[in-house]
Chain A
Amino acid sequence: MDWLFFGEISLAGLAMGGLYALIALGFVMIYKATRVINFAIGEIMMFAAYLFLAFAGGMELSPWIAMPLAVLGGSILGGVIEKTMIRPMLGESPISVVMVTIGIASILVGVVEFFWTADPQLLPQFLPREPVFIGPLYLAPKIAYGFLIGAAVLVLYLLYFRFSRGGVALRATASDQAAAYSMGINVRRVFNLAWVFGSLAASLAGILVAATGGLSPQFGIIGLSVLVVVIVGGLDSILGALIAGLFIGWLETVAGAYLGGEYRMPATFVVLAVILVIRPYGLFGTHEIERV
């Protein structure tokens, strides 16, 4: 058993897992506050990545200006989607809302294809190019730095949740909407902010993933892997998103390396199936009690 190799593969997997955790965080934020399973998260990521392509590639802005702009664009997109398409669906059955997000995903794919064509794209380089070595273990620079950026943002989010007023408002709304209303929290605004911040996380992750693996209108398929992460972790658990993200990222990479690339998805879906059977609400999710 080549432990060096295993170590390197695991590192690569964990680095990817960090990005999954970031996307899952965005997803969980949206679910926690608004109870919406956002099937369009992969497409929001894609949109932000295309914006980055336009700013840094087309308009030739510095990547360090283009990135915040693109992330801002993605966040605004999230806010607009919430206001125009999710808000009217308040009170409808969950399947309808899910289908709306699926429709939104389709619209975003069409929009992106309309302006940028369906050609495969590479993002302009902005991450350092020298390989990273942790001891004797090699790590590809893009995912190493991607992981660092993602982790930094994640920590910021967690601090925000814990200590700021906005974070408290979000947590309050997530646990009991009626009580939050009666405490004077502007719940509508919280909904919108949840989408904005969720899309922010997703947008940043989208740019990083696209920088690693290329961009095309089919980018959104990464949403499937993220879905596995959030189900395994628990739809409304931030801790679950983090841990499941790292785990699924690691598992996917290890399965791909030792079994073959075609086993990446089935391996993670096996975990999904197992979780659905033994612990449907995820490792850290809250169990919903239904009353007649």
Chain B
Amino acid sequence: MLKSILSKGRRLAGLGSLVAALTVTAPVMAQDKDPIVFGGSIPLSGVFAFAGVHLHAGLTDYTSWINSQGGINGHPVKYVMEDTGYEVDRSVAAFKKISGSDAPAVYYGDSTGFMKAISAELNSMGTTLMSGASFATALTDNEQYPYQFIPGPNYSQMFGIILEYIASQGKEGDMPTVAFVYSDTEFGKDPIANGKTMAADLGIKVVEEIVTKPGSVDVSAEVLKLRRVRPDYVVFHGYVLSPINEFMVQMRQMGLDTQFMGTFWSSDKLIIDKMGKDADGYMGVMPYNYYDSDETGPMLDALRAQAEKSDPKAGYRPTGYMQGWFNAMVWTEVIKRTLDAGKELTAENMAASLASIENWDTGGIIGIPVTVRDMSFPVGRIWRVNAEQGRYEPVSDWIHLD
């Protein structure tokens, strides 16, 4: 009985992965060069689906676009992915499956948990460079994660950018006060220790630290704590929507004129859509220009054109889309540099190419030329919600951390 399950499973698995590969690959131009494979463990369902669906769209559209430009150095690009429901074991399973069947040069990982779990195998394989949805601080440790990079600032660097902005709003000797509000999860706690150090270095006093438990909670007690200390700024991290809205509404009702700021995953349209007028004045750190911002640039315009083409009814494309696109851009640049130097596409060579990126013009996706530091792009800008216009507008210059 066991035997029949095994062989049947193998047949089905083979058939299934063939079908999956055929249905999700972008149209490949008839070339006689080997395709370069972009692999992905994508959370199309589950708790991260709100971003996953758009990450996938960004990667898919970029693949179409790059193929319409003749591929990478003439190699057509193939994008192979699997849905993971944002569960680590499914992500790992997808990675093993795709690595076995398609030999991807680069891979998109859907969560911090996955990136950590797969690092040992990735390092020993040495064939694939990985990045993804995680901006975890740990991933910039190049000793432990030499073949993984972050397509933007890590969470600690995001805090750094936020704190630099806050510092710039203060006067000499009279720095604003800050409270950190974060969730009791690995995601939430990630940047806090570094955040406190950076605040101390800038002379900013962290007057309160609030940890909220996951799930639907009443935060009025926490709001009372904040009322006692009256911080000038509250920085949220580890959330997507709740309980940011409750904090903002309740604190304003109490008459506090605190400013509210958040990190990447809580700085998107979702806040504006769900909170409406209440979202006005909320600020977020975002390394990419928003789809609906007034910024332009050759790549940004190409992105918008491609997005229009692939789904004219979609309208606005969220930050997840931008992140997916930018990820693929970095992969392309890294692969190009490696191939142009005449080197083989191994993880080590690609990592070296990545580290060589300096003052790279991203064509409008990021407003200033970027330099890679410790396998991340520590750059960002503070944007503020304009509730009437229904979008984010820049309120700071581009901040590039060293």
| A contacting B, Cβ–Cβ less than 8 Å | yes
Which residues does A use to contact B, with CB under 8 Å? 2, 5, 8-9, 12-13, 15-16, 113, 117-122, 129-131, 138-143, 209-210, 212-219, 221-222, 253-254, 256-257, 260-262, 264-265
By the criterion CB–CB under 8 Å, are A216 and B47 in contact?
A: yes
- Which B-chain residue is minimally distant from A141 (CB atoms)? B253
Are B46 and A213 in contact, with the CB atoms below 8 A?
A: no
Contact of B211 among A15, A139, A260 (CB under 8 A): A260
**Top 5 A-B pairs, shortest CB-CB distance:** A214-B242, A261-B211, A213-B216, A140-B220, A120-B241
Q: In this assembly, does B240 line the interface, its C-beta being within 8 Å of a C-beta of chain A? A: yes
Chain A proximity mask over B233-244: 1 for CB below 8 Å, otherwise 0: 000000011110
Q: Find the residue from A12, A140, A143 having the highest chain B CB count within 10 A.
A: A140
How far apart are A89's CB and chain B's nearest CB, in angstroms? Answer: 29
5 A-B residue pairs with Cβ-Cβ distance under 8 Å, sorted by A, are A5-B228, A141-B253, A216-B47, A216-B242, A257-B224
B151 to chain A, nearest CB (A): 23
A227 to B275, CA, bound (A): 32
Using Cβ atoms and an 8 Å threshold, which residues of chain B touch A121? 241, 274
**Also in contact, A213 and B246, with CB within 8 A (given A120-B241, A221-B215, A261-B222):** yes
User: Could you say which residues of chain A place their CB within 8 Å of the CB of B355?
Assistant: none
By size class, the interface of chain B is 35 or more
Interface string of B247-276 (1 = CB under 8 A from A): 001100110000000000000001000110
For the complex formed, measure the closest distance between the CB of A198 and the CB atoms of chain B, giving whole angstroms: 20
The smallest beta-carbon distance between B100 and chain A, in angstroms, is 29
Q: Measured between alpha carbons, how far is A217 from B246 in the docked complex, in Å?
A: 19
Contact pattern, B 199-232, Cβ under 8 Å of A = 1, otherwise 0: 0000000000011111111111111110110000
Choose one: A8, A122, A140, A260; the contact of B245 (CB below 8 Å): A122
User: Besides A117-B49, A260-B211, 10 other CB < 8 A contacts?
Assistant: A9-B224, A12-B218, A118-B48, A122-B245, A131-B254, A140-B223, A142-B220, A214-B216, A254-B221, A264-B213
Q: Is the CB of B243 within 8 A of A213?
A: yes
CA distance in complex: A13, B249 (Å): 19
Query: A212 with B218: in contact, given A117-B49, A121-B274, A218-B47 (CB under 8 Å)?
Result: yes
A122 contacts B242, C-beta separation under 8 Å: yes
Residues on B with C-beta less than 8 A from A213 are 215-219, 242-243, 246
Chain B residues with CB below 8 A from A209, complex form: 216, 218
Q: Smallest distance from the beta carbon of A106 to chain B beta carbons, Å?
A: 14
Contact of B216 among A130, A222, A261 (CB under 8 A): A222
Q: Report how far A221 CA is from B184 CA in the complex, Å.
A: 14
Given contacts A118-B49, A118-B50, A261-B210, contact A5 B245 (CB under 8 A): no
Q: A213-B246, A214-B245, A260-B211 are in contact. Are A118 and B253 (CB under 8 A)?
A: no
Contacts of B241 in A (CB 8 A): 120-122, 214
Q: Cβ of B112 < 8 Å from any Cβ of A?
A: no
What chain A residues lie within 8 Å of B270 (beta carbons)?
Answer: 119-120
B210 touching A119, Cβ below 8 Å: no
Chain B residue with minimal CB distance to A255?
Answer: B221
Q: Contact between A12 and B224 (Cβ–Cβ < 8 Å)?
A: yes
Residue in B closest to A9 when the chains form the complex, CB atoms: B221
Q: How far is the CA of A117 from the CA of B218 in the complex (A)?
A: 23
Given contacts A256-B222, A257-B225, contact A130 B253 (CB under 8 A): yes
Measured between beta carbons, the chain A residues less than 8 angstroms from B240 are 120
B25 is an interface residue with CB less than 8 A from chain A: no
Which residue among B212, B213, B221, B242 has the maximum number of chain A CB atoms within 10 Å of its CB? B221
- Please determine whether A219 and B213 come into contact, CB atoms closer than 8 angstroms: no
B17 contacts chain A at the CB level, 8 A cutoff: no
- CB <8 Å contact, B216 and A215: yes
B395 to chain A minimum Cβ distance, whole angstroms, is 25
CB pair A261–B212 under 8 Å, yes or no, is yes
Q: Which residue of B lies closest to A49 (CB)?
A: B216
Q: Are B221 and A256 in contact (CB under 8 A)?
A: yes
A13 touches B221 (CB 8 A): yes
Q: CB-CB contacts of B168-191 with A at 8 A, as 1s and 0s?
A: 000000000000000010000000
**Is A119 in contact with B50, judged by CB distance below 8 angstroms?**
yes
Contacts of A118 in B (CB 8 A): 45-50
Residues of B within 8 A of A253 (CB): 218, 221
In the complex the two chains form, is A212's CB within 8 Å of B216's CB? Answer: yes
Closest to B48 in A: A118
Q: How far is the CB of B208 from chain A (nearest CB, A)?
A: 11
**Chain B, residue nearest A265 (CB):** B213
B80 to chain A, nearest CB (A): 24
Q: How close is A270's CB to chain B, nearest CB, in angstroms?
A: 15
- Most chain-A CB neighbours within 10 Å: which of B215, B223, B228? B215
- Chain B, 262-320, CB within 8 A of any chain A CB: 270, 274-275
Chain B residues within 8 Å of A2, by CB: 228
Asked whether A257 lies within 8 Å of B274 as measured between CB atoms, the reply is: no
- Interchain CB contact under 8 A, A222 and B215: yes
Q: Which residue of B lies closest to A129 (CB)?
A: B253
The residue in chain A whose Cβ has the minimal distance to the Cβ of B255 is A131
Interchain CB contact under 8 A, A143 and B218: yes
Given A118-B50, A143-B218, A256-B221, CB of A261 within 8 Å of CB of B213:
yes
Q: Which residues of B contact A264 (CB under 8 A)?
A: 213
Q: How many Å from the CB of A184 to the closest CB on chain B? A: 44
Shortest A93–chain B CB gap in Å is: 29
Closest to B45 in A: A118
Nearest B residue to A253 by beta-carbon distance? B221
Would B220 and A143 count as touching, CB distance under 8 A? yes
Instruction: Tell me the bound Cα distance from A48 to B241 in angstroms.
Output: 21
Q: In the complex the two chains form, is B45's CB within 8 Å of A262's CB?
A: no
Q: Which residues of A contact B217 (CB under 8 A)?
A: 213
Which residues in B have their C-beta under 8 angstroms from that of A215? 216
CA distance A214 to B50 in the complex (A): 16
Q: How far is the CB of A207 from chain B (nearest CB, A)?
A: 11
CB distance from A258 to the nearest CB of B (A): 9
Give the chain A neighbours of B223 by CB distance below 8 A: 140
When A130-B253, A261-B213 are in contact, do A138 and B218 touch as well, CB less than 8 Å? Answer: no
Closest to A131 in B: B253
Q: Chain A contacts of B245 at CB under 8 A?
A: 122, 214
Q: Does B216 contact A219, Cβ atoms closer than 8 Å?
A: yes
